[in-house]
Amino acid sequence: MIKRTLFFSNPAYLSTKNQQLVINYPEADTPTKTIPIEDIGMVVLENQQITISNGLLSRLIQNNAAVISCDGYHLPISLLQPLVGHSEQTERMRHQLNASMPLKKNLWQQTISAKIQNQANFMDNQGIPARKMHKWVNEVKSGDTENHESRAAVYYWQHIFGIENFTRGQKEAPPNNLLNYGYAILRGITARALVSSGMLPSVGVFHRNKYNAFCLADDIMEPYRVYVDVLVNDMVQLNKDYETLTTDLKTHLLQLPVIDVVIDGNKSPLMVAMSRTTNSLYECFAGISRKVLYPVFE
Protein backbone atom coordinates (compact mmCIF):
# COMPACT_ATOMS: atom_id res chain seq x y z
CA MET A 1 0.00 0.00 0.00
CA ILE A 2 1.26 3.50 -0.86
CA LYS A 3 1.88 5.48 2.32
CA ARG A 4 1.00 9.17 2.53
CA THR A 5 3.41 12.03 3.13
CA LEU A 6 2.00 14.79 5.34
CA PHE A 7 3.54 18.27 5.24
CA PHE A 8 2.65 20.81 7.92
CA SER A 9 3.74 24.38 7.11
CA ASN A 10 1.21 26.21 9.33
CA PRO A 11 0.67 26.22 13.12
CA ALA A 12 -1.33 23.17 14.20
CA TYR A 13 -2.12 20.93 17.16
CA LEU A 14 -1.50 17.27 16.30
CA SER A 15 -2.80 14.47 18.48
CA THR A 16 -4.32 11.00 18.17
CA LYS A 17 -7.66 9.37 18.84
CA ASN A 18 -9.08 6.02 17.71
CA GLN A 19 -5.97 5.19 15.63
CA GLN A 20 -6.36 8.49 13.78
CA LEU A 21 -4.07 11.50 13.49
CA VAL A 22 -6.19 14.44 14.61
CA ILE A 23 -5.35 17.90 13.22
CA ASN A 24 -6.64 21.00 14.98
CA TYR A 25 -5.82 24.53 13.82
CA PRO A 26 -5.62 27.68 15.98
CA GLU A 27 -8.25 29.38 13.83
CA ALA A 28 -11.65 28.69 15.39
CA ASP A 29 -13.41 28.50 12.03
CA THR A 30 -11.08 25.83 10.59
CA PRO A 31 -12.57 22.33 10.89
CA THR A 32 -10.72 19.47 12.57
CA LYS A 33 -9.27 16.86 10.22
CA THR A 34 -8.43 13.20 10.83
CA ILE A 35 -6.19 10.78 8.93
CA PRO A 36 -5.71 7.02 9.61
CA ILE A 37 -2.26 6.55 11.10
CA GLU A 38 -1.80 3.27 9.22
CA ASP A 39 -1.91 5.25 5.95
CA ILE A 40 0.99 7.53 6.90
CA GLY A 41 4.56 6.91 5.77
CA MET A 42 6.15 10.29 6.50
CA VAL A 43 5.31 13.42 8.47
CA VAL A 44 7.23 16.66 7.85
CA LEU A 45 6.90 19.22 10.65
CA GLU A 46 8.06 22.54 9.21
CA ASN A 47 6.35 25.28 11.22
CA GLN A 48 7.95 26.16 14.56
CA GLN A 49 4.52 26.55 16.17
CA ILE A 50 3.37 22.96 15.72
CA THR A 51 2.39 21.13 18.90
CA ILE A 52 2.41 17.32 18.74
CA SER A 53 1.38 14.90 21.48
CA ASN A 54 3.63 12.13 22.74
CA GLY A 55 0.78 9.69 22.15
CA LEU A 56 0.77 10.57 18.46
CA LEU A 57 4.55 10.29 18.21
CA SER A 58 4.34 6.82 19.75
CA ARG A 59 1.62 5.73 17.31
CA LEU A 60 3.54 7.05 14.31
CA ILE A 61 6.75 5.31 15.34
CA GLN A 62 4.90 2.04 16.01
CA ASN A 63 3.58 2.34 12.46
CA ASN A 64 7.16 2.84 11.14
CA ALA A 65 6.33 6.35 9.93
CA ALA A 66 9.26 8.74 9.49
CA VAL A 67 8.81 11.96 11.48
CA ILE A 68 11.01 14.78 10.17
CA SER A 69 11.44 18.10 12.00
CA CYS A 70 12.61 21.31 10.30
CA ASP A 71 14.60 24.22 11.69
CA GLY A 72 13.82 27.93 11.61
CA TYR A 73 15.06 28.05 8.01
CA HIS A 74 12.51 25.38 7.01
CA LEU A 75 15.17 22.75 6.32
CA PRO A 76 14.94 19.17 7.69
CA ILE A 77 17.25 18.74 10.68
CA SER A 78 16.09 15.60 12.52
CA LEU A 79 14.48 12.22 11.98
CA LEU A 80 12.62 10.35 14.70
CA GLN A 81 13.07 6.60 14.35
CA PRO A 82 11.99 3.59 16.44
CA LEU A 83 14.32 1.75 18.81
CA VAL A 84 12.88 -1.53 17.51
CA GLY A 85 12.00 -1.66 13.82
CA HIS A 86 11.92 -5.41 13.14
CA SER A 87 11.07 -8.57 15.10
CA GLU A 88 14.51 -10.05 14.24
CA GLN A 89 16.36 -6.80 14.82
CA THR A 90 19.12 -8.20 17.08
CA GLU A 91 20.06 -10.97 14.65
CA ARG A 92 19.89 -8.65 11.65
CA MET A 93 22.11 -6.07 13.31
CA ARG A 94 24.59 -8.82 14.19
CA HIS A 95 24.84 -9.80 10.52
CA GLN A 96 25.30 -6.14 9.58
CA LEU A 97 28.00 -5.51 12.19
CA ASN A 98 29.85 -8.72 11.27
CA ALA A 99 29.98 -7.91 7.55
CA SER A 100 33.47 -8.48 6.16
CA MET A 101 35.48 -5.76 4.47
CA PRO A 102 35.46 -7.57 1.08
CA LEU A 103 31.64 -7.74 1.28
CA LYS A 104 31.39 -4.02 2.11
CA LYS A 105 33.68 -3.13 -0.79
CA ASN A 106 31.57 -5.26 -3.14
CA LEU A 107 28.37 -3.61 -1.91
CA TRP A 108 29.88 -0.17 -2.48
CA GLN A 109 30.97 -1.20 -5.98
CA GLN A 110 27.38 -2.23 -6.77
CA THR A 111 26.05 0.99 -5.28
CA ILE A 112 28.31 3.32 -7.26
CA SER A 113 27.82 1.40 -10.52
CA ALA A 114 24.05 1.71 -10.06
CA LYS A 115 24.35 5.42 -9.22
CA ILE A 116 26.45 6.25 -12.28
CA GLN A 117 24.20 4.12 -14.51
CA ASN A 118 21.13 6.04 -13.36
CA GLN A 119 22.89 9.36 -13.86
CA ALA A 120 23.93 8.29 -17.37
CA ASN A 121 20.37 7.17 -18.20
CA PHE A 122 19.00 10.52 -17.02
CA MET A 123 21.50 12.33 -19.23
CA ASP A 124 20.45 10.15 -22.18
CA ASN A 125 16.84 11.04 -21.38
CA GLN A 126 17.73 14.75 -21.59
CA GLY A 127 19.68 14.36 -24.84
CA ILE A 128 23.01 15.05 -23.09
CA PRO A 129 26.09 13.08 -24.26
CA ALA A 130 26.80 10.41 -21.65
CA ARG A 131 29.27 8.06 -23.36
CA LYS A 132 31.88 8.64 -20.64
CA MET A 133 29.34 7.89 -17.94
CA HIS A 134 28.29 4.58 -19.51
CA LYS A 135 31.98 3.66 -19.85
CA TRP A 136 32.66 4.40 -16.17
CA VAL A 137 29.76 2.20 -15.05
CA ASN A 138 31.72 -0.89 -16.05
CA GLU A 139 35.03 0.40 -14.70
CA VAL A 140 34.04 0.74 -11.05
CA LYS A 141 36.21 -1.61 -8.99
CA SER A 142 35.64 -3.16 -5.58
CA GLY A 143 35.41 -0.32 -3.06
CA ASP A 144 35.54 2.19 -5.96
CA THR A 145 39.28 2.51 -5.33
CA GLU A 146 39.72 4.74 -8.40
CA ASN A 147 36.95 7.08 -7.24
CA HIS A 148 34.77 6.85 -10.32
CA GLU A 149 31.90 8.28 -8.25
CA SER A 150 33.69 11.63 -7.98
CA ARG A 151 34.80 11.58 -11.60
CA ALA A 152 31.25 10.93 -12.77
CA ALA A 153 29.82 13.57 -10.42
CA VAL A 154 32.02 16.31 -11.89
CA TYR A 155 30.90 15.49 -15.44
CA TYR A 156 27.25 15.02 -14.42
CA TRP A 157 26.88 18.32 -12.57
CA GLN A 158 28.61 20.24 -15.35
CA HIS A 159 25.91 19.21 -17.80
CA ILE A 160 22.65 18.08 -16.22
CA PHE A 161 20.77 21.35 -15.58
CA GLY A 162 22.24 23.33 -18.46
CA ILE A 163 23.34 26.02 -15.99
CA GLU A 164 26.70 27.56 -16.81
CA ASN A 165 29.35 27.05 -14.10
CA PHE A 166 26.93 25.19 -11.83
CA THR A 167 28.63 23.67 -8.79
CA ARG A 168 27.02 21.09 -6.52
CA GLY A 169 27.44 21.93 -2.86
CA GLN A 170 25.43 22.36 0.32
CA LYS A 171 26.00 26.11 0.47
CA GLU A 172 26.34 26.84 -3.23
CA ALA A 173 23.90 28.81 -5.38
CA PRO A 174 20.37 27.59 -6.29
CA PRO A 175 19.09 25.12 -7.32
CA ASN A 176 21.32 23.58 -4.63
CA ASN A 177 18.66 24.64 -2.13
CA LEU A 178 16.17 22.36 -3.89
CA LEU A 179 18.66 19.49 -4.06
CA ASN A 180 19.47 19.86 -0.35
CA TYR A 181 15.80 19.67 0.58
CA GLY A 182 15.05 16.75 -1.72
CA TYR A 183 18.06 14.75 -0.53
CA ALA A 184 17.07 15.35 3.10
CA ILE A 185 13.65 13.85 2.37
CA LEU A 186 15.28 10.93 0.55
CA ARG A 187 17.57 10.37 3.52
CA GLY A 188 14.53 10.11 5.79
CA ILE A 189 12.87 7.60 3.46
CA THR A 190 16.06 5.52 3.39
CA ALA A 191 16.58 5.58 7.15
CA ARG A 192 12.95 4.56 7.69
CA ALA A 193 13.35 1.58 5.34
CA LEU A 194 16.63 0.49 6.96
CA VAL A 195 15.09 0.50 10.44
CA SER A 196 12.06 -1.40 9.14
CA SER A 197 14.48 -3.99 7.74
CA GLY A 198 16.14 -4.35 11.14
CA MET A 199 19.40 -2.55 10.45
CA LEU A 200 21.33 0.34 11.97
CA PRO A 201 21.27 3.44 9.72
CA SER A 202 24.41 4.73 11.47
CA VAL A 203 26.78 1.87 10.50
CA GLY A 204 27.68 2.27 6.84
CA VAL A 205 29.45 0.17 4.25
CA PHE A 206 31.45 3.17 2.98
CA HIS A 207 30.54 6.32 4.91
CA ARG A 208 32.24 6.24 8.31
CA ASN A 209 31.99 9.78 9.70
CA LYS A 210 31.74 9.39 13.48
CA TYR A 211 29.54 12.50 13.63
CA ASN A 212 27.04 11.12 11.10
CA ALA A 213 24.13 9.11 12.53
CA PHE A 214 22.96 8.05 9.04
CA CYS A 215 26.04 6.61 7.33
CA LEU A 216 24.26 3.55 5.93
CA ALA A 217 21.34 5.67 4.75
CA ASP A 218 23.80 7.93 2.93
CA ASP A 219 25.31 4.84 1.29
CA ILE A 220 22.10 3.22 0.14
CA MET A 221 20.35 6.36 -1.09
CA GLU A 222 23.07 7.06 -3.69
CA PRO A 223 21.41 5.35 -6.71
CA TYR A 224 18.10 7.00 -5.72
CA ARG A 225 19.46 10.55 -5.81
CA VAL A 226 18.68 10.81 -9.51
CA TYR A 227 14.94 10.92 -8.73
CA VAL A 228 15.47 14.09 -6.70
CA ASP A 229 17.53 15.47 -9.60
CA VAL A 230 14.62 14.78 -11.95
CA LEU A 231 12.16 16.73 -9.78
CA VAL A 232 14.60 19.63 -9.47
CA ASN A 233 15.31 19.60 -13.20
CA ASP A 234 11.57 19.87 -13.88
CA MET A 235 11.47 23.13 -11.94
CA VAL A 236 14.66 24.47 -13.51
CA GLN A 237 13.51 23.77 -17.07
CA LEU A 238 10.12 25.35 -16.39
CA ASN A 239 12.01 28.53 -15.45
CA LYS A 240 10.37 28.60 -12.04
CA ASP A 241 11.74 31.04 -9.50
CA TYR A 242 13.77 28.74 -7.28
CA GLU A 243 15.93 31.30 -5.49
CA THR A 244 13.66 30.90 -2.45
CA LEU A 245 12.44 27.51 -1.26
CA THR A 246 8.70 28.22 -1.35
CA THR A 247 5.90 25.95 -0.15
CA ASP A 248 5.00 25.17 -3.78
CA LEU A 249 8.55 24.02 -4.52
CA LYS A 250 8.68 21.90 -1.37
CA THR A 251 5.31 20.37 -2.21
CA HIS A 252 6.70 19.34 -5.61
CA LEU A 253 9.75 17.75 -3.96
CA LEU A 254 7.55 15.92 -1.46
CA GLN A 255 6.14 13.88 -4.36
CA LEU A 256 9.37 11.89 -4.09
CA PRO A 257 8.05 8.99 -1.93
CA VAL A 258 5.24 8.17 -4.37
CA ILE A 259 6.88 8.61 -7.76
CA ASP A 260 7.13 5.38 -9.76
CA VAL A 261 10.52 3.74 -10.14
CA VAL A 262 11.51 0.50 -11.88
CA ILE A 263 13.13 -2.07 -9.61
CA ASP A 264 13.76 -5.71 -10.50
CA GLY A 265 11.75 -5.20 -13.71
CA ASN A 266 8.62 -3.91 -11.99
CA LYS A 267 7.23 -0.45 -11.29
CA SER A 268 6.53 0.59 -7.72
CA PRO A 269 6.42 3.78 -5.64
CA LEU A 270 9.86 4.89 -4.52
CA MET A 271 9.09 4.33 -0.84
CA VAL A 272 8.11 0.73 -1.56
CA ALA A 273 11.16 0.21 -3.78
CA MET A 274 13.41 1.48 -1.02
CA SER A 275 12.10 -1.23 1.31
CA ARG A 276 12.96 -3.83 -1.33
CA THR A 277 16.44 -2.37 -1.58
CA THR A 278 17.06 -2.44 2.18
CA ASN A 279 15.70 -5.98 2.51
CA SER A 280 18.01 -7.14 -0.30
CA LEU A 281 20.87 -5.42 1.53
CA TYR A 282 20.12 -7.44 4.64
CA GLU A 283 20.13 -10.64 2.57
CA CYS A 284 23.63 -9.71 1.41
CA PHE A 285 24.75 -9.20 5.01
CA ALA A 286 23.20 -12.56 5.97
CA GLY A 287 24.84 -14.41 3.07
CA ILE A 288 21.50 -15.23 1.43
CA SER A 289 22.20 -13.12 -1.67
CA ARG A 290 25.09 -11.32 -3.31
CA LYS A 291 23.14 -8.58 -5.07
CA VAL A 292 21.51 -5.41 -3.79
CA LEU A 293 18.31 -4.53 -5.67
CA TYR A 294 18.54 -0.94 -6.90
CA PRO A 295 16.13 0.90 -9.20
CA VAL A 296 17.01 1.48 -12.85
CA PHE A 297 16.16 4.94 -14.16
CA GLU A 298 14.31 4.81 -17.47
> Is 90 exceeded by the pLDDT of residue 134?
yes
Do 132 and 156 belong together in one domain?
yes
Q: Measured in whole angstroms, how far is the alpha carbon of residue 173 from the centre of its chain?
A: 22
Do 55 and 199 belong together in one domain?
no
> pLDDT at position 85, please?
66
Q: Is 148 labeled as ligand-binding?
A: no
> pLDDT at position 240, please?
75
In this structure, what CATH number is given to the domain that contains residue 31?
3.100.10.20
Whole-number average pLDDT of the chain? 93
Query: CA torsion sign, 216 to 257 to 273 to 155?
Result: negative
Do 61 and 183 belong together in one domain?
no
Q: Is 149 labeled as ligand-binding?
A: yes
Secondary structure of residue 129 in the 3-state scheme? coil
> Is 70 exceeded by the pLDDT of residue 196?
yes
Do 184 and 42 belong together in one domain?
no
> Which of 80, 109, 144 marks a domain boundary?
80
Torsion of CA 114, 117, 123, 127, to 10 degrees: -150
pLDDT band for position 78 (cuts 50, 70, 90): confident
Q: Whose CA is closest to 116, among 140, 84, 94, 86?
A: 140
> Is 80 exceeded by the pLDDT of residue 96?
yes
Q: What is the mean pLDDT of residues 184-197?
A: 91
Do 217 and 281 belong together in one domain?
yes
Q: Which residues contact 285 (CB under 8 A, 6 or more apart)?
A: 92, 95, 96, 98, 99, 103, 199
Considering the entire predicted model, what is its pTM?
0.89
Looking at the domain assignment, is residue 182 inside a domain? yes
Q: Is 243 labeled as ligand-binding?
A: no
**Cβ-contact 68, 76 below 8 angstroms:** yes
Q: What is the mean pLDDT of residues 90-113?
A: 96
Query: Domain of 271?
Result: 89-285
> Which of 15, 49, 80 marks a domain boundary?
80
Do 278 and 169 belong together in one domain?
yes
pLDDT in tens, 19-45: 999 999 998 788 999 999 999 988 999
Widest CA span in the chain: 62
The count of domains in the chain is: 2
Report the DSSP beta bridge partners of residue 66. 42
Q: Whose CA is closest to 119, among 106, 131, 104, 107?
A: 131
Do 9 and 101 belong together in one domain?
no
H or E element, residue 274: helix 270-285
